[in-house]
Each structure stands twice: as C-alpha cells, then as structure tokens.
Chain A
C-alpha cells in the first residue's frame, strides 16, 4: 500500500465508508430541494469515486485472497457477522460501480424531471447495495445486500421507466426473487450442514469455503440453488427473458446500471460462491456441458436476436445476453487465461454497453424514438456523437486496440485449450456482434440523411461529453494497456483455478490447500 494511504489508516475504514457514505447522502437528497437533489447526488457519488480510487493501490491483489477484511458480530446466536473483504475480483467490480455511478447521475441530469429526490435517493441506495454485494464476506450479509438492491432498481424501472414499465419492473423483481429465495434455503442448509460437521454455526465465507466438503451428497442440490439465483441474474439462457423488458423500459441510468453492474453480480456470484463452494459439482462433466451449451446458446442466440431488433435499446439489451455468455464460457473453461478474460469482459462490457446505453439515451432525448429506421445519415449533423458511437460500438464488437478485444480474445484463447469446440462456436459470436453492430451503425449514422427531423439534431453538450469521455478513455486504456488491470485480476483467478481444478483431476490436493503449501 502506498505510504500516504497507510498514513491515513485508509485500509481500516475505506470499505465501511464506501457502504455508509451513499446512505448518508440519501439524507440531504431527501431533505433538500428537488433542484439540489441531483447536485447533492453528484457530489456524493464523486466523493465515493475518489475515495474508492485509493483501493487501486491499497488492495494487495498478489496473494489472490481477500484483503482489508473486517468482521463485527451481528447476530451472534446464528454466527452471523457484518464481514467485508476485497480481492482482485471485487476490486474491479467496486471500481466499475463507483465509476459508473457519477456518470449515471450526470446522465440523468435533464432526463429525470419528476420526483427527482426519490430518484437520486434510490440511486444512492442502489450504490450501497451493489457495493455491499461485491464486498460482503458473510453469506447472510451478502443475501441481504443481494435482495435489498432489488428494491431501488424495481422503483427506478417502475416509476421513471417507459410505457410498459409496470410489467417490466415486476418481472424483473419476481425473476430475481424466484432465484434468490431458493438460494436462501440453500444458504441455510449449507451453513447448518457445515455446522453439523464442524460444530460451529457460522455464515462466514471463509469458514464455509474451508469446510464445504462437509456438504457431501447435498452438494448438487446446494449448487443448483445457488446457480439458479446467479443464472437468473447473469442472465443465462433461458432465464434471460426479464432482461430485454427491464433494459428497454428502464430510464437510461437504470439500463446502464443494470447492464454495467447488476448483471455482473450474477457472474460474480459464480466466481465467488457457487463454483468455489462446490467445485466437484460445478466442474463435473454434465454440469460443465450444460453450462457451456447454455452459454453458447446465449452467445449465438443473443447476437442473432439483437441483429433483427428494430429498436436500438433492445439491440443493445440482447447484445448483453451474448456478451455475458462469453463470461460464463470463460468461467467454465476454468483456465487462468479464460477466467482473466471473463473478468475483462465483465469490466469491458460495463464500459462499452454502459456507454452504448448512454448514447442511445441521448439520441432518445433528442428525437423521442429509438427506432433504428427513424435515423440515418446523422453523422453529418452530429459528428462528435457519431464518432463516439462508432468507437464504443467497435469496442463492443471486440476490435483490437479497444477493450472488448482483450476480454473476448483471452476467453477464446483460454477455453480453446480445454473446450476447443465451444471456443470455435463462441468465436462466431464475435462475428455476429460485428454484423449487428456495424449494420446498426450503418443504418443510424451513415446511409443517407433522409428524415427531415434529423437535420436539426444538436450535437453533444459539455455535460454529455463529460458522461461519455471517461468511458471512452477507459475503453482505450484497457484496449491499449490492460496490464495493470490484468495484473490485479490474475492472482485471484489462479486461486480460483486451484480451488476448482482439484476435484476433477490433476491436482486433487487442492481441497487440502494448507497441506500443499507446506
């Protein structure tokens, strides 16, 4: 850790502050005037971003284990604590969240015109919930954050969403809750089973991870319940049907956060909980085959459906299904390369899809339509917008030199070693992505300027540039020089591979990790 951070005791308070600061910010937002709400929210989210940046240096990601851990008893009778910690995976997710959040506030600046106080208060609550999910190291705490963050998003979609918002919001809520309620039972059964084996009832992550082997014959059921909760969130085909509805109906910031952060909670759940707890089940042949098939269907199906969408926002929504398929493939290929790639896709997708949703939102604010056919040739009218749109779309396609390429290439490379056929099929997803995005670009930005309404479009304002440029900068940085990010992810992924590879073959000592280290 950098000495200047250490001198402030940064590692002692940062995680707690990140959780509490947005909630404290809710108070002035609710009590202040409607006009001040957005300013307050911006200040709070920017403060959160600045504070969280220190984590980049403060977290020692080299051992691949959880750092900055803290644990305070919460419900002692049940072995439940308020426990947090952070490793390379969480670090990236937390930073992605704190970066996107001020941009979301800025992006909502003029588009949210009713009940502003409620809106920004919910955004801040959501921030706490999401960060909580990524740093909780107690399963009870994790579950609470996992469920609690549903509420703000439910309201954001349901109040400030589009025409069909009521249907979309309840579908989002019920789908997610259906998965997570079974996870709730699984968490309890798992903790009680482990307690039966060890004599200690505890929901602490490390305790459960160390003794997960106790689960024995109930492991497949437990894994199934965990996996269902996370698969709905990712979403893995066929649980994806809530996603297009929610993404399309949500206001711009809602879509950005859904795609940028909330979907990642699902893949994060696989990486952190479902697979490491039950590697024997997760990596067994039939589960692997099932997940790979579903991931591939997601990749190809998502891309094909995206291609035929007349609505730009829906196109971007379905492209998420496709991209998240790559992440699932990367996780189940279970090589360090594929996992690092999966993580890069998670981050990169947050940047590029987030930016795409912002761009679509900006277009919508100007013309109040998202039909692709309503546009065409607007490059001549709004050159800056078109340039940024093109860069972002290319990054989503996976053009070398931009961030999308790094992730998808690593996933394909890593999974080719273990599952060459799957990697081959997945590679077609990249081609389809090029097809649907380039085609959309062509129809929106290029072609002929044949609609009169488009002639009076205004180009991006300073505020809109302030929203987009950080994302574009991130896209370029991670495309050209991803090493600092990769360096921070890889150790956690090596540890993951050690955990899951053990039971399936050549390193069957992995479950007894302490002995091997000796």
Chain B
C-alpha cells in the first residue's frame, strides 16, 4: 500500500474507514429502531444488526493492518500505525462481546429499547477515535462521543433508582473530568503551540519543559485518571459500576478503560517521552494508590459486582505501573495486560449477568455457593476468570503481570514491583473466596442456580474468552511478540525490546 496522505480528504477517509463504517452502522441501527422498537424481536434484530455493523469496520482494520498502511510524512490528526490497529481490534472485540452478552440480558430484564445497540456502537466509535487519536482535539472528541453514549447506557434501566443514580453520577463526574482534560489541552497548546502529539513531542525534546506544558500535562493526567478510574479519581466507579446494567458495566470496565489506557499510552509515549521526570512520579503515585486502595477496599465488599468494580480500580493501578516504566517493554506490557484484562473482565461480567436478577446488585458469595454442582462449565469459566485476574500461572493474566514486573524490573524500580506483587497477594483474598464459594460450599437452597444459565450468545462469548485466556497463558510467545512489535512505533530509537537490559 502506498503511504496515505492524511492531509487530503481521500487519504484521511481511507485511514478512518474503521471509524466511518462503524458510525454508519450505528446510524443504520438508529434508523431501523426508529420503526422497530416495541417487541423483544425488534430488540434482537437491532442487536444482530449492530453485530453485523462491526464486520465492515473489522474488515477495514484488517485490510489497513494487512496492507501495512502508513502515513505520508508525519501522521496528522489520526495515527496510522500498528498500535492503532491493534487498539481498534481490542475495542471491536470488547464491543462484539458486549453486544453478544446484552442480547439475552436485555430480554430477560425487560429492557426493550433497542436504541441501546446504537449507543453501544456510538460509544465504540468514540473509543476508536480516542485510542487512535494523534491530536488532542481528536482525542477529546472521541472521549466525548464515548462518554455521552456511556452516560445514557449507565442509566438504561429506567425502573432502577440505582441505574439513574449511576447515570447522573457518571455524567457529573465525567463532565468534571472532561473540563480538566480540556483545560489541560488548552494549556499544552499555550505551552507548545500545538495539539498534535508528535509535534508536542518534537517541541518538548529541545530544552526545558515550559511551566504551562507541565501544568497541562498534569491536568491531562487528572482527566484521564478519572476516565480509567484510578485512585484518587475513582470515587464514581463503584456506584456507577454497581448501578448500571451488568453488560454496560462490563463495557465500561473493558472498552472505556481500554480506550483510556491506549490513549494514555500514546500521549505519554509520543508527546512526553522526554518529560518522564515530570510524569513518572505522578503515574507512580496514582499506580500505588490505585493498587493499594483498590485491592484493600475490594476485600471488604459483599456484592460481587462492587468487588469487581474495586478490582478494576486495582487493575488500573497495575496498568499505570506498566506505563510508569516508559520503555518499549512497558508499552508492550501495557498492551498485553490490557488485552488479558479486557478478555477476563468481559467473561467475568458476562457470567455475573446470569447469576442474579435486576442488575445483579445483590449477588454475593452466598448466592453463588455450590454453583459448581449444577453448572460445572460456568463455574470453571468463572474460576479461570478469577485466577486470571489474580495473575495465576497458566492464564493470560499471569503473562501480563509477568510482563509488567519485567518492565518495572528492567527500569530498576523495585519498590513498585514489590508493591505490585504484595497487592496481588491481597487480591487473592477476594478472588479466591469466589472460587471457594462456587466449588467448596454447599448451595444455600436446593433450587439455587436453576436460572443461572448463559444464553447461547453469551455462552459463546465466555467460552471464546476463556479458551483464549488459557491458550495464551500456556503459549504466550505469539501474544508477547505481537504486543512488542505493535508498540515499536511508539518508542523512538528503541529497536530491540530488551535493549539496554540491566543498565
């Protein structure tokens, strides 16, 4: 493929084909549901349409990636490198899984309002812009498109007070975070005269970081910290995760977090590779606070949904730890861990969705006791998810964690590595009881778990996720080299992932 000139309309359109197709698909879904929005069959139709709408976008990603698309000169507005393609792939997978899980869930909960699927697609296109942005303005637009859709989705269960609370809370806090982000972008523009990531990087590479840029970077980190739910910007997360319909929670924990981290990776590696002294302490502080607080508070949760919410805060901490190192291996580790986390959480929330009713707010350890007796495969999948979140060998979660520790060790920050493993140990205190309740306790009532049956589509999603987790847990070489090769364009001058080992 010849290099695309992103400054021309044609070049930009080709480069943006995945996003374009997805947005068009969302509009088609929206049009269709304008006429068909009454029955469960209509809802199903919208769901399958949305699923099919992902296909052209996926094909576009595959063609661009396979064709080795690259920009003519410096990338403009949107990135055109392998890291973007792999980011888009992760987001598409998360979206597809969310749609598949929602199909059965919405019907069961009587949430027949098929605009849901259009919103999911709009949110996904926002995520794609966010993760692929090469310019802070595009990044902001993507973030807002994503966030607005998710605000609505969080409040989708109109009959639930908690869902309404979740939507309002998320909206207020989200608007607050957007303001920080926007102000940060403005200050960065003031300090460097540009909003392009690589351009900012080029201007900052000579000499001292201007005060304005430093402030801008700080505000940017705060804004992103809100979006990825890192401590101390996490207060919204438990209530919002808890109140939203479970598939939406899964989408927030995977899609939103993934897009946020992918964007953050790109910002830090492309715009601020020279400013590590400024952002490393902040990122380290956020990481430590998230790991410690997320894991400790998760310990005391009774509801599984809240437990997973706090654990997702802890996982944001692990990912920030990976980012902290700022090396090529760190970028690869972030991508690897993020992928493992996304797959695990999709499966975990998918399973959670059938364990209870009415938003699964009241699913506790007691209510899943003895699940293995009646639902052996479901229990097995849940156990694999818990072990993968725990970072246990044999699962992809371990490979990701190993990569993070390797990156931190390589960058010679032992305390961070030790905090990571110690807090991981704490997390055993809430992941294992789940496994224990499922396998080692007796069901509370004889008829328990009758209804805990995954609908076909959700079962397919969970099964695929679990198989992939185990496969890459045992044979991680391919995933690792992919993570390293796709992140190589982010890092200037770093040829070998292990260059400068031990120094």
Contact = CB atoms under 8 A, between A and B. Distances in A.
Interface in A335-349: none
Contacts of A76: 477
Contact of B477 (A74, A144, A194, A195): A74
A189 interface: yes
Contacts of B421: 181-182, 184-185
A174 B425 contact: yes
A174 B429 contact: yes
Contact of B428 (A148, A165, A173, A189): A173
Interface string B431-450: 01100100111000000000
Contact of A166 (B409, B414, B417, B440): B440
Nearest to B481: A77
B439 A155 contact: yes
A170 B432 contact: yes
A77 B405 contact: no
B158 interface: no
A358 to B, nearest CB: 24
Contact of B503 (A147, A159, A196, A201): A196
A97 interface: no
B235 interface: no
Interface string B468-487: 00000001110011001000
Contact of B393 (A77, A144, A192, A193): A144
A188 to B, nearest CB: 5
A147 B409 contact: no
Given A75-B477, A189-B409, A195-B502, A165 B440 contact: yes
A181 B422 contact: yes
Nearest to B403: A78
Interface string B415-427: 0011001101100
B371 to A, nearest CB: 13
B477 A193 contact: no
A169 interface: yes
B433 A170 contact: yes
Contacts of A151: 387, 392
Label chain B's interface by main secondary structure.
Answer: helix
Given A158-B440, A165-B440, A189-B414, A181 B409 contact: no
Contact of A196 (B417, B424, B439, B501): B501
A446 interface: no
A174 B418 contact: no
Interface in A141-195: 143-144, 147-148, 151, 155, 158-159, 165-166, 169-170, 173-174, 177-178, 181-182, 184-185, 188-189, 192-195
A169 B422 contact: no
B424 A148 contact: no
Contacts of B211: none
A424 to B, nearest CB: 39
A215 to B, nearest CB: 11
A197 interface: yes
Contacts of B417: 185, 188-189
Interface string B381-403: 00000010000111000000010
A77 B484 contact: yes
Contacts of A144: 393-394
A225 B292 CA distance: 21
Contacts of B433: 170
A194 B501 CA distance: 9
Nearest to A157: B440
Contacts of A143: 393
Contacts of A169: 436, 440
Interface size class of A (residues with CB under 8 A): 35 or more
B406 interface: yes
Number of contact residues on B: which range applies? 35 or more
Nearest to B405: A188
A433 B196 CA distance: 76
Nearest to B437: A166
A185 B405 contact: yes
A110 to B, nearest CB: 22
* Chain A, interface SS category: helix
B249 to A, nearest CB: 27
A201 B498 contact: yes
B497 interface: yes
Could you say which of B387, B441, B477 has the most chain A C-beta atoms within 10 Å of its C-beta?
B477
B440 to A, nearest CB: 4
B321 interface: no
A223 to B, nearest CB: 15
A445 B477 CA distance: 59
Nearest to A195: B501
A151 B384 CA distance: 11
B436 A170 contact: yes
B476 A192 contact: no
A147 B393 contact: yes
A181 B425 contact: yes
B502 A196 contact: yes
Contacts of A159: 439-440
B295 interface: no
Nearest to B409: A188
B409 A192 contact: yes
A188 B477 contact: no
B409 A178 contact: no
B425 A177 contact: yes
B244 interface: no
A77 B477 contact: yes
A194 B475 CA distance: 25
Nearest to B432: A170
B246 interface: no
A188 B413 CA distance: 12
A178 B422 CA distance: 8
A77 B436 contact: no
A170 to B, nearest CB: 6
Contacts of A165: 440
B410 interface: yes
A166 B392 CA distance: 20
B418 A182 contact: yes
Interface in A118-156: 143-144, 147-148, 151, 155
> Can you list the 9 inter-chain pairs with the closest CB atoms, starting with the nearest?
A196-B502, A181-B421, A158-B440, A144-B393, A147-B393, A75-B477, A195-B501, A188-B409, A185-B417
Given A159-B440, A185-B409, A194-B502, 18 more contacts: A73-B477, A77-B484, A77-B497, A77-B498, A143-B393, A144-B393, A148-B394, A155-B440, A166-B441, A173-B432, A174-B428, A177-B428, A178-B425, A185-B418, A188-B417, A192-B501, A192-B502, A201-B501
Interface of B: 387, 392-394, 402, 405-406, 409-410, 414, 417-418, 421-422, 424-425, 428-429, 432-433, 436, 439-441, 475-477, 480-481, 484, 497-498, 501-503
24 contacts: A75-B476, A77-B480, A78-B480, A151-B392, A158-B440, A165-B440, A166-B441, A170-B432, A173-B432, A174-B429, A174-B432, A177-B428, A182-B421, A184-B421, A185-B409, A185-B417, A188-B402, A188-B409, A189-B414, A189-B417, A192-B501, A193-B502, A194-B502, A196-B503
